[in-house]
Each structure stands twice: as C-alpha cells, then as structure tokens.
Amino acid sequence: MLALLLLAACGGTKPEAPPQVVAPAAPDPVVPPPRIGLALGGGAAKGFAHIGVIKMLEANGLKPDVVAGTSAGSVVGALYAGGMDPFQLQEKAVALDEASIRDVRLFGGGLVQGVALQDYVNAQVGKRPIERLRKPFAAVATRLETGERTVFVRGNTGQAVRASSSVPGVFEPVTIGQYQYVDGGVVSPVPVDAARQLGADVVIAVDISSKATGKRPDGMLGIVNQSIAIMGQRLGEQELGRADVVIRPDVLDYGSADFTRRNQAILEGEKAALAALPQIRAALEKAKAQKLAQAAAQRQAAQATPPCEEGSRWNPLKRKGGDCKAEKR
C-alpha cells in the first residue's frame, strides 16, 4: 500500500522546465574619439592670430591631434607640434625679435635668404625632424619648377618651414634635393587637404589670408602677399570648402609686416575661436555619430556572416559561410 502511494505521488509531480537562457544585449561599439586636425593658413605677421586660436581651443578641452601649416601657419604649427603649449607659444611671440629671423641678402633670388628662420625653428623644436615631433605635422610648399603642391611630413623641420614660408620675390627659393620650393600659399593658402591626409576626422581651418578689399596694400611684402592671395584665392576657396569648420580672425586690415600688433592678433584669434566653439562641437558630435554608425554596421555584417567551416576528406563538399579559400586570401 505504501509503495502504491509513493508511486502515485511521483507520477503526479511534473518535471521542472529548464531555465531560459537570455543572451546578453550586445554592448554599444567602442570607437576612438574623432581626430581633430588644425589647418593654419598663411598671412605673414597676421599669423600671430593662430596662437590665440590654439589657446582658446585648448582652454575648452579641444586639443588638435594633427597640425598642417602654410607659410606663417607652418611656423606656428611646427612649434606647436614640437611640444609647446599655447602659453609658451605666446611667450615666444612676445619675445620674438623680427631681425633674428630676417637675414637680408642683396644678391640672390630674394631679399631674405631664410636661413635665419630655418635655424630659429630648428632651435625651438630641439633640432628634431618632422617625424619626431610630438604631433603629426605637415608643412605645405610649392614646387617652383612645376607649380605642384608639396607636403613635407618628414625631414628637416626648419627647412620645410622655410620652404613653406619663402614668399616669392621676398625670400630666396629653397633648394631641397633637385627641386626649388616657394611659399605654399601659391597653391594651398589654408592646408585643409594636408590636415586630412594626416588622418584628421574633423578639420578646423584658420584663414588669415589677405583679400582684395579695394584698399592699396602697404609696402612690398603687403603687395606680394596680396598678389599671392589673389592668385590662390579660387583654389583656397575650394579647399576651405572641404573643411568642417573655418575660423577667420578679424585681422584683414593688419599689415603683413606689422609685428607691433602681435598681441592684438593673438586676441583676435581667441575671439574668433570662441565664437566658433558651438560649430566645432557640433562637427565633433557628427563625426562621432558617423564612427558609431560605421562600427555598428561592421559588427552587424560580421554577425550576419557565419564562420567558414572547411570540409573534411570524408565530406569534401561541406561549406558554410561562403568561400573558405576566399577568406584565407
């Protein structure tokens, strides 16, 4: 009787269902932050405005990852890429003696030889070549024989800056290898494309170039700079159109050789960068969203493609997930 009761009890108990296994939700893809590129344009003494732009960017937590410069922009860019912070740049600017970077020579391809500028830049970066600077850096110059844009990303830093800054008729052309080079502003007044080539996701361009305003430029350097700006204006506009953000400090009426207004130029750079901050942050958010969407699409594509399983000698026709041989290639 007891045995029958036990059997009845066992028969009336339903086995427990196995617990359901819920797959964990896939984490959001992790992507590196967008790389910020700074494209610093040419403009002779107006280039002090670049320092103000860099100061304001860093003060708001925006540190450029790569730097490209043309002419005066290459001077500031090289020192910044070499490791100087914005305040050190400002100290150097205030203390700069114009005569120390101007080596006049009456007979040659220009009034200024440019060796003093080359030596000054090399001294400031510890005589390191471009490829050993703290940040990726590019100096843009123009090959005199062909008119082609040349982007220097390795080699003698001071020499590359000198080539990028050799205003035709004012500086002697710079011989590097078998070619001669002059100011990069002839073909690339603001080097947006060079910054992009360095790997920038978001390019911030700083345009301080002269514009034809109906006013007569002062002095020979002013005439030459405005002539170069007019020649490269259309090319410059096209290249600026490929930037994510364009900053234009209010230095248009500053003389190209007016070193006495360097502090005002720095201040104008700060003001212009401050006004551009919302646009810069929006560009960074857009670039981040694009990176996330790209990473998510790649992950979905990888999940949709099953792993490839090779056939064995017992079942040589077995194939899953596409052509295994194609994957091995």
Neighbour-count burial of 222, counting CB atoms closer than 10 A to its CB (0-12 exposed, 13-18 middle, 19+ buried): buried
Q: Locate the DSSP E strands across the chain.
A: 36-40, 66-70, 137-143, 149-152, 174-176, 179-183, 202-206, 245-247
Say which of 65, 71, 164, 258 is annotated catalytic. Answer: 71
Q: Which residues contact 132 (CB under 8 A, 6 or more apart)?
A: none
d(CA 273, CA 271): 6
d(CA 138, CA 171): 20
Sign, CA dihedral 292-295-301-306, equals negative
d(CA 172, CA 115): 10
Question: Is 210 a known active-site residue?
Answer: no
Question: Is 183 a known active-site residue?
Answer: yes
d(CA 305, CA 29): 18
Say which of 74, 164, 165, 183 is annotated catalytic. Answer: 183
Sign, CA dihedral 176-179-185-187, equals negative
Structure tokens at 73: 């922009």
Q: What are phi and psi of 205, to 5 degrees?
A: -100, 140
CA 68 distance to own-chain centroid: 6
Query: Active-site positions?
Result: 71, 183
